C-alpha cells in the first residue's frame, strides 16, 4: 500500500516536515510494510523554503535585515544558481513580534525588500517569494523603500514607510529604484485572493489579526484606497482588480504593480515544484493536514490544493487538523475524511505543545489505520 503524506505545518506547533514525520511513524506502526512518501508542503507562507529547497538543490544563506519594528535580525532564504526562494515571514512576519508589542500602524515590510536586495547582490535574477504570515499592512512600502522607492506627502515631505503613512501619501518616486531589478523576474506564492481594500481587503480581513483595532482598520483601509489611487494614476495598474493584491497587507499588490510579479496560488506552485502529481498518481491514499481548517481554507490553502490535485488523479485524500471550524461547509469539499486530532477536553494551549501535537497526530493516524481502523484498507480510486 502506498500513501503520500503531504501536510502543511500546524502553525505554532509543528513544521510541515515534523507533521509528516509523525504521520509516517504512525503508519509504520499501524501498517508495517506500508510505503509512505513524505512531501511536506506550504501554501506560500511559513515553510516555503523548507519545502522547496531540497527539490531545487538550494543552499541556505542569511542576511542582516530589519524586522517589522526595525530591529536587526538574520533570516535565511534559499539560493539555487540564479534562483532565490524567500519567505516574507522570515523577515517581516507576525511570528517575529510578540502580541503585546504589535503596532500595525508602524510595522513595515522593509526586511523583505532587504532580502531581495541581498539576493540581487548574490546574482539572483529569478525570485519566488512567499508572502504568507506577514505582520504588516503597509502596502509593501517598506519593501519598496528598501529597493529605492521614496514616498512623499502633499507638502513634499518624505514619509516613513508603514501603514500609518498611507493615508497622507501624495507621491510615489521610483527614480532611484535598484537598477538590478530590471533584469529580475518575480513570482509570488500567494495563499489568498483578497482584493487590495474594502470589506474583503487587506485591512478589514487581516489587520485585526495583526493587532489593529476597529479605528485603525478604517484608517488603514482609507490608506490602501489612497495608495491604490496613486498607483492607478501613476502606473495605470488597478490594484483592486488583481486577485490577491491584498495579501500580506498589500505586499501582493506592490509586487504585482512595481515588480511585474504574477500572484500565483502558492500551494499549487509548491505542489508542481515538488512533482506531487507524479508521486501521487499511483498512490492508494494521500494524507494532508494543517493546524486549523475553516471556511478560509477553501480559498487557496494547502490542504484544498492537495484535494484538487487528488480529485484530478482520482486518488482519495484524508485531512488531519488540530481543530475544525465550519465543518458543514468543509465536509462537502470532497475529502474521504477530515479528522481533528485534538482530543476532547484537551486545552488548545496544551494541544499546541509540539510534543503533544505530534502525539495527537500519531494517535489519530493509528486510530484510522490500525487494526479495526476505518481506513485500514481504503479502496483505490475512491473519493
| Residue finishing a domain among 202, 236, 266 | 266
Contacts of 52 (CB under 8 A, 6+ apart): 42, 58, 78, 85, 128, 270, 273, 274
Instruction: Record the cell numbers describing residue 41, joined without a space.
Output: 508542503
Mean pLDDT computed over every residue of the chain? 92
Question: Sign of the CA dihedral 52, 5, 312, 320?
Answer: negative
Same domain? 25 vs 58: no
So what's the pLDDT on residue 296?
A: 63
Query: What tens digit of pLDDT does each residue of 327-377 get?
Result: 666 767 788 988 899 998 899 899 999 999 999 999 999 999 877 676 765
Question: Which domain CATH number covers 103?
Answer: 3.90.1510.10
pLDDT tier, 192 (very low <50, low <70, confident <90, very high otherwise):
confident
Last residue of a domain, one of 266, 284, 310: 266
Give yes or no: residues 174 and 286 share one domain: no
Q: First-to-last CA distance in the chain?
A: 17
Does residue 377 lie in a domain region?
Answer: no
Domain that holds residue 312: 2-41+274-369
Q: List the CATH number of the domain containing 278.
A: 3.40.50.10350
| Across 61-65, 114-118, 351-355, least confident range | 351-355
CA distance 198 to 221: 7
Please indicate, yes or no, whether residues 20 and 62 belong to a single structural domain of this protein. no
What is residue 107's predicted lDDT score, i.e. its pLDDT? 97
Do the beta carbons of residue 173 and residue 129 sit within 8 Å? no
Same domain, 11 and 69: no
Amino acid at each position: 500500500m502506498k500513501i503520500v503524506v503531504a501536510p502543511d505545518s500546524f502553525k505554532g506547533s509543528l513544521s510541515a516536515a515534523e507533521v509528516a514525520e509523525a504521520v509516517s511513524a504512525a503508519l509504520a506502526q499501524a501498517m508495517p510494510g506500508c510505503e509512505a512518501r513524505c512531501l511536506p508542503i506550504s501554501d506560500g507562507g511559513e515553510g516555503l523554503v523548507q519545502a522547496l529547497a531540497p527539490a531545487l538543490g538550494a543552499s541556505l544563506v542569511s542576511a542582516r535585515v530589519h524586522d517589522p519594528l526595525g530591529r536587526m535580525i538574520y533570516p535565511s532564504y534559499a539560493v539555487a544558481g540564479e534562483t532565490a526562494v524567500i519567505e516574507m515571514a522570515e523577515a517581516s512576519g507576525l511570528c517575529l513580534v510578540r502580541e503585546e508589542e504589535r503596532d500595525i500602524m508602524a510595522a513595515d515590510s522593509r526586511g523583505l525588500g532587504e532580502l531581495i536586495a541581498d539576493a540581487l547582490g548574490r546574482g539572483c535574477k529569478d525570485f519566488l517569494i512567499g508572502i504568507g504570515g506577514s505582520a504588516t499592512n503597509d502596502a509593501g512600502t517598506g519593501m519598496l523603500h528598501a529597493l529605492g522607492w521614496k514616498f512623499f506627502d502633499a507638502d513634499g515631505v518624505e514619509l516613513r514607510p508603514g501603514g500609518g503613512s498611507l493615508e497622507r501619501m501624495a507621491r510615489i518616486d521610483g527614480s532611484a529604484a535598484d537598477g538590478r531589478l530590471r533584469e529580475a523576474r518575480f513570482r509570488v506564492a500567494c495563499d489568498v485572493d483578497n482584493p487590495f481594500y474594502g470589506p474583503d481587503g487587506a485591512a478589514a480581513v487581516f489587520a485585526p489579526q495583526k493587532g489593529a483595532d476597529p479605528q485603525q482598520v478604517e484608517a488603514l483601509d482609507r490608506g490602501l484606497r489612497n495608495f491604490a489611487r496613486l498607483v492607478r494614476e501613476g502606473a495605470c495598474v488597478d490594484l483592486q482588480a488583481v486577485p490577491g493584491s491584498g495579501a500580506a497587507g498589500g505586499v501582493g499588490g506592490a509586487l504585482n504593480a512595481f515588480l511585474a510579479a504574477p500572484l500565483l496560488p502558492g500551494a499549487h506552485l509548491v505542489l508542481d515544484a515538488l512533482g506531487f502529481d507524479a508521486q501521487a498518481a499511483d498512490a492508494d491514499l494521500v494524507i494532508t493536514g494543517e493546524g486549523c481548517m475553516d471556511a478560509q481554507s477553501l480559498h487557496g490553502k494547502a490542504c484544498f490544493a492537495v484535494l484538487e490535485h487528488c480529485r484530478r488523479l482520482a486518488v482519495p485524500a484524508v485531512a488531519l487538523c488540530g481543530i475544525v471550524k465550519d465543518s458543514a461547509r468543509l465536509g462537502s469539499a470532497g475529502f474521504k475524511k477530515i479528522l481533528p486530532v485534538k482530543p476532547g477536553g484537551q486545552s488548545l494551549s496544551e494541544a499546541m505543545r509540539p510534543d503533544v501535537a505530534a502525539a495527537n497526530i500519531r494517535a489519530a493516524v493509528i486510530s484510522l489505520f490500525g487494526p479495526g481502523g476505518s481506513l485500514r484498507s481504503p479502496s483505490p480510486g475512491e473519493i
